[in-house]
Amino acid sequence: MTDETQEQQITAVGNEMSASFLAAKKRSDATLAKLEEHPEKFTMLTGDRPTGRLHLGHYFGSIRERVAMQNRGVNSNIIIADYQVITDRDTTEHIEDNVLNLVLDYMAAGIDPNKTMIFTHSAVPAENQLMLPFLSLVTEAELHRNPTVKSEMEASGHALTGLLLTYPVHQACDILFCKANVVPIGKDNLPHVEITRTIARRFNERYAKKNPVFPEPSAILSEAPEIPGLDGRKMSKSYGNSIMLGATAEETAKLIKKSPSDSERRITFDPIARPQVSALLTTAGLVTGRDPKDIAEEIGDSGAGTLKKYVIESVNEFLAPHRERRAELAKDMDYIRDVLHDGNKRANEIANETLEQVREAMGMRY
């Protein structure tokens, strides 16, 4: 293959991805407009892997929007994807603690278990059983093309496991078992919703033309900016650059004090040339609702020490109500377990009904 041919292929793939994104964005905007008018007609599915504690990036990137949708009246569901922990990890150490802490942070942030179903993968067998028919509806090439599969395989350093390869299909099971028709995501996760739409369409065409079983869900693309960690890189549990929602004020102060800056005394907002200083300014801007440039101008020649002091005070003030609610909830962990058990029970009822519909459509009820 010549270099010119390779460039042409790369350009073609890029154009295809751009067209796909534009179509998804148009669909997202139209769906959001309908949701604002009739939230009761929509079912949302979203979730997290219990690989650690939630941080500010999770809050501004997804949790805040989940609470808003719940409060609008959208039928809301949050999956704690415990089975997906082992897509790229060889241990489930601390998983129970991580799961319970997710529930604590959800509820402290405003998720109401009476309005939002919170459940775990491993407790809902019928949902996972959907993997079998769904796997027959996709090709190996389609799975290998998924960018999340590629990036997670590279990041983990592991050989490609069967579970990681089929990760997008497992996510389709999560979305479709409860007939979710909206999935709030960032741009990077759009391929997961697209393959879910493909699976729903192919199932209906193959087995349920007259009475479709599954909706084709729409992605609601998040407008939230990517939130940098304290070192300027993406905020991530694995980088150790994250401000955890459940951290104490002292732990938060210590982490921010240790965060890197640069040798220039005057504080300016320049994410390209000064990523570390700009990350601190972005964090302060998010929690105060101010423009990071205005914060930089205010601090001026006072230096990184003054900036860090401002960030510490702003973050701790912002997180104080969350921490207070979290501490109160943590006094009764039996209640937290009851919330999860109730969510799992409700999820099983829904999954069993959906699986029966699938078996009926496939002629597998004997």
pLDDT per position in the chain (366 positions), as tens? 555 554 544 444 445 557 778 888 888 899 999 999 999 999 999 999 999 999 998 998 889 999 999 999 999 999 999 999 998 888 899 999 999 999 999 999 999 999 999 999 999 999 999 999 999 999 999 998 888 777 776 776 667 889 989 999 999 999 999 999 999 887 778 888 999 999 999 999 999 999 999 999 998 887 766 778 887 888 777 777 889 999 999 999 999 999 988 889 999 999 999 999 999 999 999 999 999 999 999 999 999 999 999 999 999 999 999 999 999 999 999 999 999 999 999 999 999 999 999 999 999 999
Q: What is the pLDDT of residue 19?
A: 75
Domain covering 237-330, topology: Tyrosyl-Transfer RNA Synthetase (1.10.240)
Q: What is the Cα–Cα distance from 199 to 138, expressed in whole angstroms?
A: 7
Q: What is the pLDDT of residue 109?
A: 97
Q: Domain ranges in the chain?
A: 15-224+341-361, 237-330
Q: Quote the CA–CA distance of 170 and 126 in Å, as a whole number.
A: 12
Report pLDDT for 180: 97
Angle between helices 95-109 and 303-330 (to 10 degrees): 100
Identify the pLDDT of residue 225.
Answer: 67
* pLDDT score, position 50: 96
Exposure class string for 119-135: b at 16+ Cβ within 10 A, else e: bbbbbbebbbbbeebbe
Single pTM value for the model:
0.89
Look at residue 11 in the predicted model and tell me its pLDDT.
47
- Residue 354, class by beta-carbon neighbours within 10 Å (0-12 exposed, 13-18 middle, 19+ buried)? buried
Please report the pLDDT score of residue 363 as a whole number.
96
| Domain covering 15-224+341-361: architecture | 3-Layer(aba) Sandwich (3.40)
For residue 32, how many C-alpha atoms fall within 13 Å in the half-sphere facing its CB? Answer: 15
SS (H, E, C) the chain: CCHHHHHHHHHHHHHHHHHHHHHHHHHHHHHHHHHHHCHHHCEEEEEECCCCCCEHHHHHHHHHHHHHHHHHCCEEEEEECCHHHHHCCCCCCCHHHHHHHHHHHHHHHCCCCCCEEEEEHHHCHHHHHCHHHHHCCCCHHHHHHCHHHHHHHHHHCCCCCHHHHCHHHHHHHHHHHCCCCEEEECHHHHHHHHHHHHHHHHHHHHHCCCCCCCCCCEEEECCCCCCECCCCCECCHHHCCCCECCCCHHHHHHHHHHCCCCCCCCCCCCCCCCHHHHHHHHHHHHHHCCCHHHHHHHHHHHHHHHHHHHHHHHHHHHHHHHHHHHHHHHCCHHHHHHHHHHHHHHHHHHHHHHHHHHHHHCCCCC
